[in-house]
Structure 1
């Protein structure tokens, strides 16, 4: 073998050895590099489906309180709501996500103000899937508004008729009216309009019957807006969007509203809140009127307490577009009414609620009151206001 052939073979051997060394180094580095998410093998789809079904079974078939604690309603009303959605075509079962799971992901967020990432883990779904079905269910619940939120009837409620405190004095009362503030997130340019005493909020006007059901809700007003301004807007809207007031009937309201046709506020400068009357006997007819007025009107404060206790999303900083924030508030009131009708023994409806007796902005009663059904002179407006003040005196 000549010298050239020996050198050629040695060079080939050196090249092979170099390649082998480089390959060994690459393998060792690959073995010791951190594992990335995409390199973790996924479970077979049938295993993931079993995990998803197991989670729903734990919610619906666990302890007696698991469904109520997790979804904020008992299993009977939940299954009834799912069937209602199915029968009405409001939601549809898909290959991978049945209606029951769509509702469960929605109710869990409403009841626990959970983030999208937490529901992704619990329900083993992608963030896009969770968000998509939240919006679908929100729209479906909103479409039930006319079915479960009807304006107050033109008759005396059983709660008033059966109470010697209220009947016959408030026999023409058809409901209670007040506003509440819900935290809001708005663009920076709109923040000054929404910033009030309680931060950046939306001001929500609601009418409630003595049995704690919502009959009218107007959401989306700026937090800095006066309660009476929102009421005027509600009265100005044509049916069925406007607040309905019957001839001779009225709502009880606080000092944030005037005494005028259809609305009776308490006497001013006189003890009103229940805690102010604790351990004291009313000294005159005005104090007695305010006491009875307060015990009845406290029903709406109690209803707000139940609503916010059940749906924690209303006390969290929202991360949805503002139109969705408005719809979420209304959807919560619809679900509240649904549960009150379907399950009167619901835990939240029957537990003691602390009543927040904070007054709204005190309105100047000497300001002209606008009648939205017909044009009236200022003198006529003052005369009608005096008539309703006289009616309040007669009740007292």
Structure 2
């Protein structure tokens, strides 16, 4: 009898244990489900809020679009379509978000985007890389095709430089490098930078960009690398680029006279000889590359502030910024930054003292320079006398 009672009690306790255990498991599962539901609601809310915020930033008006992403609504829509159709970016309901991350990431730091759009840093970086690679794939479409100055050119700044394709120069972009590897990237001013070669056309669009060289690298090495690459800088015979006095005056590279006034800010009085007049007009035309550098640094904060991306990523980012600069100038009827960068903009801090060794000075090219200078001065003197 007692044994049966004990068995009944044990069974009762076991049943209670099972019930309590199942109740605890049920309660735990319900709590997990409730938390998951809350997180899902927060995610959906942040997603829709972020999407609405992006929509307001981009599509509210052209004015807000230009302020936030540096281009109007039509240009932004065209860019998204190009990245999807020809850039290899897969169709996604987040296409607008992807493109916005790209632009905001270039103009602002990762943590600012994470805070504003409630996305993880990994998500922002992943989207950024996807769009970055898509933009770089379109380099053949975005780069400007060089066109030489024709013989019947009427623009006063360019009519003397027939056959000229544009201008080239180097500039420094600050980069993030490990302390052990900083020495090659240190410039003469002690800054940690990469040396970027830029080549542009007369209408302020980039023809070619080579990024990634160390800040201490001589211009001769950078230009030699650009010319020697299979898909590098190509200069057809009979054409040339305008360069500053740090380059050698030789075939395909026309430089100013050394020891004479050159920069536009130096011309407070008229030129007194042929070489000074030549330098003044050379500076006026070659200044397009200085303005190009000024425009991209003004447009994209990542190119003028201290870099927070690893050095391995910076060459693609720099090239992508130049490509998008070209896209904006070809798509929009007016670049909103044209009024911010003066026509005589000069980057004195980027002057290079190195001599380019990839081309040799030729007497024929020197004679061409002298003939051009004398022709300019004779024409200018006659016009001045008649006035």
TM-score by length of 2: 0.81
Match of residue 214 from structure 1: 206
**Deviation per residue, 1:270-308 (Å, 9 max, x gap):** 111111112x11100000000000000111101111110
1:179 paired to 2:173: no
2:307 and 2:215 mapped to 1: Cα distance?
15
Cα distance, 1:39 vs. partner? 12
Match of residue 72 from structure 1: 70
**Structure 2 vs 1, CA of residues 135 and 124 (structure 1 numbering), >3 Å: closer, same or farther?**
same
Match of residue 96 from structure 2: 100
Cα distance, 1:74 vs. partner? 1.1
Q: Which runs of 5+ in 2 are unaligned?
A: 1-34, 374-387
**Deviation per residue, 1:336-375 (Å, 9 max, x gap):** 011111113120245433612426233458xxx445xxxx
Match of residue 368 from structure 2: 391
- 1:156 alignment partner, one of 149, 160, 168: 149
Match of residue 271 from structure 2: 282
Query: Contact 1:214 / 1:333 at 8 angstroms: preserved in 2?
Result: yes
1:364 and 1:87 mapped to 2: Cα distance?
44
What pairs with 1:225-240 in structure 2 (closer than 5 Å)?
Answer: 225-238=217-230
- 1:82 alignment partner, one of 80, 83, 90: 80
**Structure 2 vs 1, CA of residues 189 and 141 (structure 1 numbering), >3 Å: closer, same or farther?**
same
SS at match of 2:103: helix
1:250 and 1:52 mapped to 2: Cα distance?
49
**Deviation per residue, 1:212-231 (Å, 9 max, x gap):** 00001110011011223211
**Deviation per residue, 1:181-240 (Å, 9 max, x gap):** 0001122232111101240100000111110000011100110112232112212223xx
1:363 and 1:79 mapped to 2: Cα distance?
44
1:129 paired to 2:102: no
Query: Contact 1:150 / 1:215 at 8 angstroms: preserved in 2?
Result: yes
1:370 and 1:126 mapped to 2: Cα distance?
47
Cα distance, 1:157 vs. partner? 6.3
* Count of aligned positions: 335
**Deviation per residue, 1:70-90 (Å, 9 max, x gap):** 111111100111111222362
Match of residue 292 from structure 1: 281
Cα distance, 1:132 vs. partner? 0.7
Query: Contact 2:239 / 2:252 at 8 angstroms: preserved in 1?
Result: yes
SS at match of 1:65: helix
2:337 and 2:297 mapped to 1: Cα distance?
10
2:270 and 2:100 mapped to 1: Cα distance?
50
Q: Which runs of 5+ in 1 are unaligned?
A: 1-37, 372-380
**Deviation per residue, 1:232-257 (Å, 9 max, x gap):** 2212223xx22111212111000111
Cα distance, 1:40 vs. partner? 12
SS at match of 1:202: strand
1:151 and 1:39 mapped to 2: Cα distance?
54
Match of residue 22 from structure 1: none
1:299 and 1:293 mapped to 2: Cα distance?
11
**Deviation per residue, 1:39-66 (Å, 9 max, x gap):** 9954714433331232122112324411
Deviates more, 1:56-65 or 1:222-231: 56-65
1:268 paired to 2:249: no
Query: Contact 2:87 / 2:137 at 8 angstroms: preserved in 1?
Result: no
Query: Contact 1:256 / 1:363 at 8 angstroms: preserved in 2?
Result: yes
**Deviation per residue, 1:308-327 (Å, 9 max, x gap):** 00011111222222221110
Query: Contact 2:144 / 2:201 at 8 angstroms: preserved in 1?
Result: no
1:362 and 1:71 mapped to 2: Cα distance?
36
SS at match of 2:207: strand
Match of residue 382 from structure 2: none
1:71 and 1:179 mapped to 2: Cα distance?
26
Cα distance, 1:148 vs. partner? 1.0
